[in-house]
Each structure stands twice: as C-alpha cells, then as structure tokens.
Amino acid sequence: MSLWSRISNAVRGERLNREIDEELQSHIDEAIASGRDPGEARRTFGSMLRQREAAHSIRAVGWLESVLADVRFGWRQLWRNKVASAAAVLSLALGIGSCVAAFRLIDALLWRPLPISGASKLYVLSRKMTGLYGKPAEDSYWATPDFNVMRDAVKDQADLIAISDADRTDITWSTDDDIEKAHVAYVSGNMFPLFGLEPSLGRLLTPADDSGPGQYPYAVLSWDYWNHRFGRDPHVLGRSLHIGDQTFEIIGVGPHDFTGTEKGTVTDVFLPLSMNGYAAQDNATWHRVFLMLRPGAALEPLRQHLTTVNHAFEAQCSTCFSGETQASIDRYLDQKLVFYPAGAGISDLQKDYRRYLGMLGLLVALVLLIACVNVANMMTAQAASRSQEMALRISIGAGRRRLVQLILCQSALLALMASVLGALFAAWSAPFVLSLINPPDNPARLDLPADWRVLGFGFALIVVVVLLLGLLPALRASAVRPVAALKGGEDPHAPRRLMRGAIALQVAFCSLVLFLSSLFVASFERLENRPLGFSTDRLLLLETVAGKGQLPVVWNQTAEALRAVPGIDSVAISRWPLLGRIAINSDISINGAPPGPTPAFFLSVSPGWLSTMKIPLVSGRDFRAADAAPGAAIVNETFVRTFFPGQDPIGRTFERPANRYLRADGHGQYKIVGVTPDVPYRELREPNRAVFYVPFAEIDYISAPETVDWATFTIHTEAKDPVVLANSLRQLIAQRHNGLRVSNITTQLDLVRDQTIRERLIAMLAAFFGAVALLLAGIGLYAVLNYSVLQRGREIGIRMAIGSTRAGIVRLVTFDVFLMIALGGCAGVALGFGAARTVESLFYQVKATDADMLALPACAILLTALVATLPAVFRALRTDPTEILRAE
Amino acid sequence: MAKTDSLQGSLDLLVLKILSRRPRLHGYAIMAAIAATSGEVLRAEEGSLYPALYRMEEAGWIRAEWIKKDTGRRARVYELTAAGKKQLGAEESRWQAVSLAINRVLREA
C-alpha cells in the first residue's frame, strides 16, 4: 500500500507539492494563532522550498518521478517534430510488425512444440543410403511390416509410432452424398496413449484397434474437423464414414488443440494403420516412423540396433527388388538410420519453407535495422541541436545517467508507439502470408496464437530497438563538455561523422536486401516465363475416380459423352495431369539387356491427348484407338537421346523389366510410334527427364483389358474460363451412373501456377521489402544531408564569400555521402554473395554473379541517392553568404 | 535545554505515544503536545517533525486525513494504525531497555 501511494504520489507530483505547502502553511497559522511571532514562526521552517523537497522525496518514488518528467519532455520533443516523428513511428512499426509476423510464422512452423506430452523426447526416423540409381538419397517413409519388427525389437528402450501424412482424401458421409475432401492420416494404435491425449468426445484409438489388418474400421475425428464440419454435434459418434469401398465408424473426437504431427496441415480424420491396404505390403513405404524415448535410454545404441533390424528386414524382403542387379541391391541395403528431433512436428512444408522463411527473416530484420538507423540518425541530429541544452543541464548538476535516461525515454516512447502499430500489422500480415503459402483449394493451416512466446519475442525486440535507437545519441549527448558546447561549437563534425557511418551501414543493409530481392524476383520471372511446350489455355482437368475400377471402354464412352456437350472442343484422358506432382518411373531395358542406370518416367494417355495439350509430334504418329499398353509408346527427345542416341527411334522397341506380362514372344514390349519435344513432367524446376507415353488402354498378358480406377479428363473448352463448365460436366458424369465420379476440379493453368507459389511468395515479399528498404534509405539519406547542409551553413557561406564555385559547393556537400554509399554498397553486395551462396538452390537459372543481378540494386540505390540528395544540394546552392554571415 | 538533536532517535516514539493517547492531531498540535507533556524540556523542530511524520505515514504506522477546521482552513490530522500500535510497543520496550542500560552505566561508572 505504501509503495502504491508513493507511486501514485509520483504520478501526481504537482498536487503533492500543493498539499505539502498547505499543511506547512496551516502549521504556521496555528503557531501564529497560539501567539508566536509571525516572522519567527515562518523562519522556523527555514527555506520553504527545501522543506517541501525533503517532504516530497519521502512521499514519492523519486526515479519514477524523473522518468515521468522525461517521458513528458520526450513527448513534447516528438510532438514538436510531428512529421519526422510520425515517419519514424511508421517505419519502426513496419519493421517491428514484419519481424514479429515473420517470427510468428517461423515459430509456428518450425519451433513450437506439438501439444503433446513428451514432445522433447520425440524423434523421427529416416535413413540415408545410395538410391537405386546411384545417387545419395534419404528416405523417411517406411513399410509397415518393417515398422512392426523395429517396434518389437526396441520396445524396452523406446516406443515406435507410425503416422502417415494427412493426405487429402475423397470421403463420403453417406453413399449418396457428394464426395468431400478431408485430410486423412493413418496412425498406429499407440499414438494417442503415448502422446498423452484425451478425447473430447467418445474414445480414441488404442493399440487394440490396430491389432489386425482390416478388422477395426474405427475413425477418430480431430476437434477442428468436428467443429467446422459438424458444429460440435455430439451425435457424430457412431456415424459411418466411407473412403473408397471401406466404411468406418466414428468412435471419438480428439483433444482441442491436437491437429496431427504434420505442421501446416490439419488432420481431419485419424484411422488405424492396419486399415490401410499398404500396411500388409513389405515393399510399400508409406508412413513415417516416430520414436518416443523411454527415460534412461540412450539414442546411439538404439540407432545402431534399429539399423541392424532394418537391414535384416530389407535383406529378406523378396518383393522389394524385383529385376534389380545384385550390385545395386547391395548398394541400396547399405543404409544408415538417422534420428531427427520431431518435437515440433515433421512436414514437407517445413522442409520446403525452412530456408525461404530464413531468408524472409533476414530481410525483415534488415528492414528493421534500416529503420532503426534512420530513427537513430534523426535522434542524433536532434541531440546535436540540443547540445547547448545538454551542456546547460550538465553544468547545473544533471548526472550523465539522467541525460542517458532522458534520451532513452524518448526512444522508448517511439518504440512503444511503433510496437502498438507493429502489433496490429503483425496480427494482420502473418495469417495473410500463411494464406499465400499453398494452393487456394488446399491452404496451409497453422495455429498462430499470440501467446507468451510471441509476446516475449516482441518485448525483446522492443528492448533491442530502444537500445539501438537511443544508446548512441544518449552516450553522445551525455559526453558533451559543457564549457565547449556553451561557447558555441565543440567539434561540430562529430555528430556528422557518426551519421555518415550510419549512412554507410544503411546503404549496406539496403543493398543486401535489394540484391537478394533481385535474385528472388529474377528467379520467379524466369520460372514463370519458362517455355512449357504445351498449352495451358482453356484446359479443364476433371480428376475422376471409379471405385474398384472401370474398363477403358467405359472411360472412353464417358469422354465421348463429354465431347457432345456444347462449348467443348476436345476431350482426352490421361492417368494424371502434367505438373500434377505425380511421377512414376520405370527401368528401361533394350532388347532384353539389363536396365541402364537412368530410369524413365511414363504417363498413360488416350489418343488425342497430345493434340488437346497442343504438344506437337517431332516425328511418327499419335496413338490410335486400337493401340494398347504394352504395345505402342510415344517418347520424348530426352528419351531418344538417353536410350537411342544417334538413331531413328521410330519402330524400335524397349521393355520394362518390372512388367509382369512380359512374354518371350515379344508380348509386353513397347514399340515406339512417335516422338515429342520435351515438356516439364512433374515440376517446372527439374531438368528434362526421359519420358514415355503409353496408351490409356492397358491389357494383361492374354490381351484382356484391365480396369482403371482413377484418371483425369483433359478438356479443351471454347470459353475463355474453362471452370464455368465444370459443375455441369461433373453432374453429367454422375448422371451416367457408370461408377465414375469427379473427385477434383482444376485447370492446367492452375497446376502451372501452383508450381511457382513459393517462388511467387518470396519474390513478392522480397520486392516489397526491397522497396521499403530503398524508401527508408532514401529518407535517411535526405535527412542526413539536409542536416549536414544546415549545420554547415556558416562554412558554406564563407566558402561562397571567398569565391568557391557552385561545383565546389556541390562536391563539398555530396562527396562524403557518395563515398559512404559506395562503401556501404560494396559491403552490402559482399554480404549478399555470402547470403546467396547459402540459398543457391532456391534460385532458378539465376546466379549471384550475374551482372544484371548486381546492376539492378546498384542503379536503384544510385537513383535513390540522387533523388534524396537533390533538395539538400539546392539548399546549399541557395545559401546567401551575406545573410549567413550577418546572422552569425 | 535539550534541543532537537537529542530527540533524533526518540522522535518517532514520542509522536507515536502522543498519537496513541490523543488521536487525530495535526502537526502543530503534536509539536505542542510534546513540549507541554515534557514540561517544555523536549522540543520537536518543524524541520524534523514533518519528514518524520511522512516517513511514518509511508511506513504505514500512522495515517493522515484532511479535516476542515473552524477557521475554514484545512488541516491534516494524524492517527495511529494497527501497525503503528505494534511499532509503539516495540519502540517503548526498546527505549526502556536502552535507558535502563544507560542508567546502569551511569550508576556504576
């Protein structure tokens, strides 16, 4: 209570003084009333002022009072330079807000532990090896039988948990409903208990639910899915969920905050591992394996043990290496297990964005630094113009500490105002950037809470900013030597030297930002403008599923029905679209020879697919209705270069050793009927691969047609926007009741755009921060030059009076600054080279040493510098010597 | 005549004792009471009385309140708090012990 009263007394200092005065006065009145001599009564108190000060210091917290006074004084200083202060607050707010937003994204995706018990003891298993094709590879997906033997082998020291990625899956809630998409993950039954999770409703999966293949069709919903799909309806328990031809019963809802282990994706439905058909296959590596360390167990012996167990499993796996040479099998079996900490979850999004986010963090930190330098410069200039005031304060007894406090208060005031605005900016921008991370129909989802982690970071940032802003000017101001300053000019160049150094620093940061930005923007542009070799115009893609499968004739009839719809130019079928991120490779053997080291990728397409995609034929012909796979093949030019160098490929044959239907009489061989140019197959960024197209209609070894359970209709429409037809086509397919249903609608253009999302995002952000950095550096330059011309008015006046030329004056004013810009620019680019080398793989066909990558930032900075210096130069040239000299 | 300096250590004790007997006194009245009850031997100077009052107020031993006097002026009157009563007890017994000890020294020297 007493501390509180002293604090409140500090806040209302004036009133306290009045009260003290009143009490002392009433004492004097009493004394006089009781007959004392008025003069003597007054004298007993001595100096009234001293009495009051002594009383005041007892009743109020002294330092708080002085801080308050400094804050008031600082506020008045800021208010006097409204425009400069507003600019300072805005630029700091942008810097702080961007940093906090970047931190929120990086923290949420990469650092924040999963809401489970024992997150710090959770690891994920991966294996390093030489891939089947001789390149070093790392695989973090495992086969379930392999997982089972590993789990049993180490069950005393650690628990192994299998979790599949949460794939976007077609589900239906009753057989008549439309297909919906949900993120479905298969998990081993021990996951929920080991993670210490409790159900919000019903029960969670247990090891018993995962004890036999296909026997426990139970599903657990995530709380998030239960909330947005069912509005937290408790009657969801017992409902049926259909996936393909399987039916699952909902048995419970997971805890409120658990959304799976895959950061960036919210798992909607958890199913038992053993309910997936792959779980019984020795050679299907399809889920991740996590390891929860038991207390007292050590990692390294575990790792060695598991490596042995895994090796034994792989070595006896009979189905894993059909058609491989013993040498390549031995090479493959030489695997080394590695553990990675997985307490913050594991996802492809983390892998894809780790370095992009790192770059983003670097850019925003630099922008904040530039803003800080700007504001520190502003404060140095103000402090310099207040050097007489500081000298006066020191000479009447102000301590250095008090002066430092005075300036730090002012910078804290700026930083606090900026951080309020910055918090608003961060609250908006972090979710905004997150929404741009993935394709719009499957956005990345992350929890972005504003909890103590974010607040702590924000607070630390503010402290750093306050110190950056205030410390230098404060130390300078407090180092003022009163005698010299009051005499009117102690080393007038000192603050300018400091500010020139700041300019160099600022230009260095700015050119670093611009350099990196230009690399990212150029990468994006080159990727975006990469020649595709096929058309993306008016191409609608209907990804269609057919339950257990339908014969090619059914698919062809459906395509025929689509062709009859008005507004449709052509319809073709492929198993999956180009750039759809699906790729399947196959070994190629020529004339029965063992397969070479390079695999080829393939795609099944119907006749007319090439012309619908506007992919020309270099030679040969397109598929005909009678062609089937195996049988005919169309290959691309890289395929020809790889397997038939220098030969005419038309009419030549090759085989796929993995083909079950290969017969000695040549059935199962592929005969090349056509050659096409190279087109990107799975990703825009990858080099051209050997690709062969095979007919959509597949036959088995007695030439009977095989069923197809999913494929994509490729539809060229007359209308500019192909999506307008999508819904009527989807209904048309459903109404045919032949088992075919559209599961996903997209366009070829969207698939191409989805390929460049990361590059677009980083290019956009880099360009934005580049522009901000340039603007801030320009403002900083202008302010410094302007201040310097004002300070040197006397000198310029004298030089003019004694006959200096205008060119001489311009040189005098700008020489130093441009020297600093050159120095800073070089330093920035040198830093840029270093930074660019660490992220080289993020660039596409762009190298840090490209001349235009250097020219662009250099030109931008020079141009900005010119614009920023012009006003100061004009001011210098307009100096009227007589006026200046008279004023002095 | 004992002047203020000799009161240094015991001013708090005197003020607390006066206030425990006669609550709600203002500063002048406390000073007058000290003078009157000590037979004009002890005198608290204004210069040390008020700082002592404020210190004890912040320590929570006494609390103050503004009242309107008959003359129309306001006066700040003080009274003992519970913590002040305890403090008074402690200070009194300390004083007794000290003066006993001093007396013994005087007798034996």
Q: How large a percentage of chain A has pLDDT more than 70?
A: 94
Are B76 and A26 within 8 A, CB to CB?
yes
DSSP string, A456-523: HHHHHHHHHHHHHHHHHHHHHHHT--HHHHHHT-S-TTHHHHHHHHHHHHHHHHHHHHHHHHHHHHHH
The answer to whether the beta carbons of residues A476 and A380 sit under 8 Å apart is yes
Distance set, CA A29 to CA A34, A46, B47 (Å): 9, 16, 16
| CB-nearest partner of B47 from A19, A46, A59 | A46
pLDDT of residue A188: 94
> In chain B, where does DSSP find H-type helix?
11-21, 27-37, 46-59, 82-108
pLDDT on residue A287: 93
Give the model confidence (pLDDT) of A170-219 as tens digits: 888 876 667 788 999 999 999 999 999 999 999 999 999 988 888 889 99
Lowest mean pLDDT segment, chosen from A2-16, A143-157, A359-373, A836-850 = A2-16
CA dihedral A98, A104, A106, A111 (to 10 degrees): 150
Backbone angles phi, psi at A410, to 5 degrees: -65, -45
CA of A38 vs chain B CAs: smallest distance (Å): 14
Please report, rounded to a whole number, the percentage of residues in chain A having pLDDT higher than 90. Answer: 27
Kindly list the residues of chain B whose beta carbon comes within 8 Å of any beta carbon in chain A: 26-29, 32, 45-47, 50-51, 54-55, 57-60, 69, 71, 73-76
Which range scores top for mean pLDDT: A132-146, A276-290, A328-342, A393-407?
A276-290
What's the rounded mean pLDDT across residues A125-142? 81
User: Contacts for A278-283 with beta carbons within 8 Å, 24 or more apart?
Assistant: A278/A143, A278/A144, A279/A144, A279/A186, A279/A213, A280/A144, A280/A145, A280/A213, A281/A143, A281/A144, A281/A145, A281/A319, A282/A143, A282/A145, A282/A146, A282/A317, A282/A318, A282/A319, A282/A320, A283/A143, A283/A317, A283/A319, A283/A320
pLDDT at B43: 79
Q: What tokens does B104 get?
A: 């013994």
pLDDT of residue B2: 37
CB A550 within 8 A of CB A739: yes
pLDDT confidence of residue A144: 92
Given an 8 Å threshold on Cβ–Cβ distance, is B47 in contact with A6?
no
A5·B55 Cβ contact <8 A: no
Strands A619-620 and A585-586, by their bridges, are: unpaired
Q: In terms of CA atoms, which chain B residue is nearest residue A30?
A: B28
Task: For chain B, 109 residues long, give each residue's pLDDT as a single digit of tens.
Answer: 334 444 556 888 889 999 998 888 888 888 888 888 888 888 777 778 888 888 888 888 998 888 887 777 788 899 899 999 999 999 899 889 988 999 999 988 6
In this predicted structure, the answer to whether residue A88 has a pLDDT above a threshold of 90 is no
Residues of chain B contacting residue A46, judged by C-beta atoms under 8 Å apart: 47
pLDDT digits (tens, 9 = 90+) for A268-303: 999 999 998 888 888 888 999 999 999 888 889 999
- If phi > 0 it is left, if psi is from -120 to 50 it is alpha, else beta; for residue A345 that is left
Nearest to A29 among B29, B50, B73 (CB): B73
Nearest CA in chain A to B55: A58
Residues A753-762 have pLDDT tens digits of 888 888 888 8
What pLDDT digit, counting tens, does each position of A40-50 carry? Answer: 777 777 666 77
- Nearest chain B residue (CA) to A4: B58
Quickly tell me which residue has 């007038």 as its tokens. A492
Q: What is the pLDDT of residues A627-660, one digit of tens each?
A: 887 888 999 999 999 899 888 889 888 888 766 5
For A534, the 3-state DSSP assignment is coil
Nearest CB to B46; choose among A2, A5, A27:
A27
Residue of B28, B76, B78 to mutate, testing the A interface (most A Cβ within 10 Å of its Cβ): B28
Distance from CA of B100 to the nearest CA of A (A): 33
- The residue in chain B having the minimum alpha-carbon distance to the alpha carbon of residue A2 is B58
pLDDT for residue A748 is more than 70: yes
Residue A848 vs residue A742, higher pLDDT: A742
Of A2, A6, A55, the CB nearest to B50: A55
Q: Three-state SS string across A818-884, please?
A: HHHHHHHHHHHHHHHHHHHHHCHHHCCCCCCCCHHHHHHHHHHHHHHHHHHHHHHHHHHHCCCHHHH
- Asked whether B76 and A26 are in contact (CB, 8 A), the reply is yes
Looking at chain A, which residue has its C-alpha nearest residue B53?
Answer: A55
| Predicted structure pTM score | 0.79
CA–CA gap between residue A468 and residue A460 (Å, rounded): 12
Per-residue confidence (pLDDT) for residue A163, from 0 to 100: 95
- Tens digit of each residue's pLDDT (9 = 90 or more) over A480-517: 666 666 665 555 566 667 777 888 888 999 999 999 99
Which of chain A's residues have a Cβ under 8 Å away from the Cβ of B47?
A: 44-46, 51
**Element housing A744 (H / E):** strand A741-747
Residue-by-residue DSSP string for A142-195: B-HHHHHHHHHHTTTTEEEEEE---EEEEEBSSTTSPPEEEEEEEE-TTHHHHT
The conformation of residue A90, written as its DSSP 8-state character, comes to H
How far is B95 from chain A, CA to nearest CA, in Å? 25
| Amino acid B4: pLDDT | 41
Q: How far off is chain A from B63, nearest CA to CA, in Å?
A: 11
Mean pLDDT throughout A265-270?
Answer: 92
Closest CA–CA distance from residue B60 to any residue of chain A (Å): 7
Across the range A837-866, mean pLDDT stands at 84
Q: Using CA of residue A801, residue A802, residue A804, residue A809, what is the dihedral sign?
A: negative
Cis status, amide bond into A857, omega within 30 of 0: no
pLDDT tens digits, one per residue of A441-458: 777 888 888 788 888 998
Interchain proximity A27–B71, CB inside 8 Å: no
- Chosen for mutation from B50, B61, B81 (greatest number of chain A CBs closer than 10 Å) is B50
pLDDT band at A590 (very low <50, low <70, confident <90, very high): confident
Give residue-wise pLDDT tens across range A658-707.
Answer: 665 666 666 678 889 999 999 999 888 888 889 999 999 888 777 788 88
Contact (Cβ atoms closer than 8 angstroms) between residue B19 and residue B25: yes
Average pLDDT over residues A154-178: 85
Of A55-64, A740-749, B43-52, the poorest mean pLDDT is in A55-64
Cβ-contact B58, B18 below 8 angstroms: no
Q: Collect all residues of chain A within an 8 Å Cβ-Cβ radius of residue B57.
A: 59
Q: Do B26 and A5 touch (CB under 8 A)?
A: no
Closest Cα partner for A243 from A284, A319, A185, A164? A185
To probe the interface with B, which of A30, A47, A53 has the most B CB atoms within 10 Å?
A30
Contacts of B40 in chain A (CB under 8 A): none
pLDDT at site A664: 63
Closest residue in chain B to residue A3, using alpha carbons only: B58
- Please state the φ and ψ torsions of residue B87, each to the nearest 5 degrees: -60, -40
In terms of CA atoms, which chain A residue is nearest residue B78? A23
